[in-house]
Chain A
Amino acid sequence: MRVIVIGAGAVGTAIAEALYRDNDVVVIERDPSRYESLQSLDLLVIEGSGSSAATLVEAGVQKAELLIACTNVDEVNIVACATGKQLGSPLTVARVQDPDYLLHWKQGYLGVDYIVCSELITAKAIARNLAIPEAKHINEFAGGKVLMTEISIRRGSPIAGLAVSEIQVPIGCTIASLIRGDQTIIPHGDDVILAGDLLVNIGTPEAVAQFNARLSGIHKVRSVVIIGGGRIGYRLALLLEGKGFAPYLIEKDAARCQWLSQQLQHTLVLNHDAMDMEFLEREKIHTVEVAINITSTPEKNLLSALLLKRLGVQRVIALVEQPSYLKAFEMVGVDVAINPRKLIAEEIIRFTHERGTEALAVLEENRAEVLELQIPPDSKVIQRPLRERFFPQGTIVGAILRDQQVIIPRGQDWLEAGDHAILFTAENKVKAVEALIFQ
């Protein structure tokens, strides 16, 4: 299908790179210096403003099925989507930074099909991570009723060396897969879990949290310090306040601190350099359980994360803009590295799947994907017990949401029309699975 991507910044580039293989991608960008890297790819770049009707027509908006507006300017994105909608009939997705627009959109204004707020997505991902500390990544499905977590099994973990059948997994969740090196294993009872594995756990939030708490021995986090009061830092503090935390927020810029302190009611805003040891000692930062480093420079995030870890902070989270640095960060000692581009791209790429596909997560660099789909009434998969194994190999139904109830299916269970199914599959099987269900 034809996909128009407006804005070739960090997010736009990531989306274009993820989509150009299977789709006709047209990128609209005003600044020539920004689309240079894209020109080596098999896609079309048009220089111009995405909010101009003429440019959109030139990009073939009448034929387009999807229009993704992800420039840095919220208003441009919204206008581009609204204009595109009137010129043709693409599904429109706008990226916004100001969450007020998200609110307006939820109330039915703006005339955009989907609004994706990158700062909010990143902040939410970090906040979820605080709730379930052992998990590397957490994805929400069915509006938060189903959680999927990725847990790396460390040496000395209570379940390392045990067979899957020996682990008492809490009722309400299941081990959906094990990722070992390049291999993705759909586990059976006699598969053994090894240190270094990445374990994927799907289930209700309570059960997942219970399972994670058993693995880590860490219980609810209480004290949090946020370093960097940018847009994500602000959103995160706001989210944490809503969950009953009273975080510390350290920010260097005095004017920004003024603004932050006025907006945040229960956060203590500290205006100082987060790498001044005397200051850190005075505020007794080493007693904090989790430190979240989200300044605008990844090097600073890395340095302050490692410093705080050395001082005695239990867990450090750092933001990293370049996806390629993710591994390096975690290798040198950052407990969780968060990449907003990956998060936003994931969020937007889910709209490129069939209309019934509602949510999608990518595990471990595109080796496995998780889909959330609604089963259509005439689907071939209805009422066939899952033990018949009619799905492509390596596919597993992780959870079913039926009438707001979460079911963790066993072999004798089956799918009904209208169910929301959360499927776990290899990356190259996504199309096949979607074809089977929607035909």
Chain B
Amino acid sequence: MKMKDVTLVDVRPALNLVAVIVRWLSLAYVFPLGVALYHREDFLPYAVPMLLAAFLGWSVERFTRSDRELGVREAFLVVPLAWLVIAAFGALPYILASKLSFIDAYFEAMSGFTTTGSSILTSISTNPQALLFWRQFTQWLGGMGIIVLAVAVLPKLAVGGLQLMETEAAGPNVEKLTPRIKHTAQALWKVYLLLTLAQTLALWAAGMSPLIALEHTFTTLASGGFSPFDRGIEETTPLVQWVIIPFMLLGTTSFVLMYRGFTGNFKLFLQDQEFRGHLLIYLSATALMVFLLVPLFPDVWDTLRHGAFQVASIMTTTGFASTDFNLWGDGAKMLLLMLMFVGGMAGSTSGSIKIVRVILIFKFIARELRLVIHSKAVIPIRLGRRVVSQDALSGIMSFSILYVTTFAAGAILLLLDAHRVGLPLSVLEAATAAATTLANTGPAFGFAGPMGSFALFPDTSKVLMVFLMWAGRLELFPVLVLLMREYWKR
């Protein structure tokens, strides 16, 4: 889109806001910088981007300063643009510290911020400790949402805050906890911080060193899936894995619900239909998985642990691996692939379609069946006691269809691209690679499996998967709106 064609979108205030966010992002480099100094590693890979973000953010902010307010149409631009720009800044340390190509670094950074967890690194532990810390930290920032953080801390965002948050948030809508959206964003971050503290302490108590515990906490609660270990969670003890399971599930529980539940009464959890669905799907999938895994493991506790862990990991779109599930049977793999399309609750750090939509899709089908019997019946669809409006339902249906279509298109394009360069890529590998990046899960099957790497894919495929991660994280519509001619021009 050439700038001089732009007639309907006032780019200046949108750019201005993105610049403000970038300027604040410079603060994030303080943490890997500290780790670098602690480990006596080169600190320039973090100091340089820090100064660059501060300077570029500051100068663009000045350059685009105007007294025009951010409009509704411009707000659509802010969130997707901010995520693209932030991933670019997030890629700089990889280039500087580990000499990755720009595309590889951008893939890794996008995979980080979108909490996907797919990696192009072939060996992980050979990288500097500070870079690995940064890799974990980007997932934590992206998990709760950069915009949610911005709304929580920036005074400027108070006006369009709700709309911006809705663009970024996981699920159909944002539920406000307080009259002011800023306070809602702060409350959500408080829950996130408390959970982070709790899990870090729990992992520490389970025998991890404090820093490693923190690094795994970052990617657990964010449903990210990066690990600083070469073989990921497989290298940790069974106790640590048991501790991680509930925190993966908590990370994909609605933060609004947790805030209400922890500050008010616990009954709210069981009254929430989506929460019940979340538990029910998790427990029944785990039971099925354990049944499928019985021939694989001699020990009952191992079977239980791997079943419970892997189902939680894939369903919550985290992507940790307690063992190389690439080696499991077809039934178990099929179950994992299906779980990639479920995800956690709306309003959490989860990716994918999400429980609330899955529940509503099934209720929609049930209603269609009842209408065949009672053709004149008026049957509303309820979520708990609340009636879901027809508009919301059609939004959910079209999202789900778009989601599956995007997945299929992604898989086909990956196959075509592989064919172009002569890369042997099976249908399962292509399908899971598309599904895992779109759902922000992480590992695929085959060479890009939990112990493998996405490095083998050609650069064009990597760019496609960057797009899938980006569009998947923002739930497709905000990204696709920008591709509409009507958005820009009359």
Contacts and interface: CB of A to CB of B under 8 A. Distances in A.
A46 interface: no
A270 B387 contact: no
B375 interface: yes
Contacts of B378: 254, 257-258, 260-261, 269-271
A268 B387 contact: no
Contacts of B374: 268, 270, 283
B420 interface: no
A293 B378 CA distance: 19
B65 interface: no
Nearest to A250: B376
B380 interface: yes
B376 to A, nearest CB: 4
B27 to A, nearest CB: 48
Contacts of A262: 380, 387
A272 interface: yes
Interface string A268-279: 111110000001
A258 B377 CA distance: 10
B382 interface: yes
A16 B180 CA distance: 55
Interface of B: 374-380, 382, 385, 387
A279 B376 contact: yes
A258 B387 CA distance: 11
A282 interface: yes
A265 interface: yes
Contact of A271 (B376, B380, B382): B376
B382 A265 contact: yes
A272 B387 contact: no
Contacts of A261: 378-380
Contacts of A279: 376
A367 B374 CA distance: 48
A260 B377 CA distance: 11
B273 to A, nearest CB: 13
Contacts of A254: 378
A4 B375 CA distance: 51
B377 A268 contact: yes
B369 to A, nearest CB: 14
A283 B385 CA distance: 27
A303 to B, nearest CB: 20
A270 B380 contact: no
A283 B382 CA distance: 24
Contacts of A270: 374, 376-378
Contacts of B387: 262
A269 to B, nearest CB: 5
B55 to A, nearest CB: 56
A269 B382 contact: no
Most buried by A among B377, B379, B382: B377
Nearest to A251: B378
Contacts of B385: 265
A268 B378 CA distance: 8
A270 B376 CA distance: 5
Interface string A222-266: 000000000000000000000000000000001001101110010
Contacts of A258: 378, 380
B391 to A, nearest CB: 13
Contacts of B377: 268-271
A262 B375 CA distance: 18
A276 to B, nearest CB: 9
Nearest to A264: B380
A257 B374 CA distance: 14
A268 B380 CA distance: 10
Given A270-B374, A271-B376, A283-B374, 9 more contacts: A258-B378, A258-B380, A265-B382, A269-B377, A269-B379, A270-B376, A270-B378, A272-B376, A279-B376
Interface in A109-152: none
A282 B375 contact: yes
Contacts of A269: 377-379
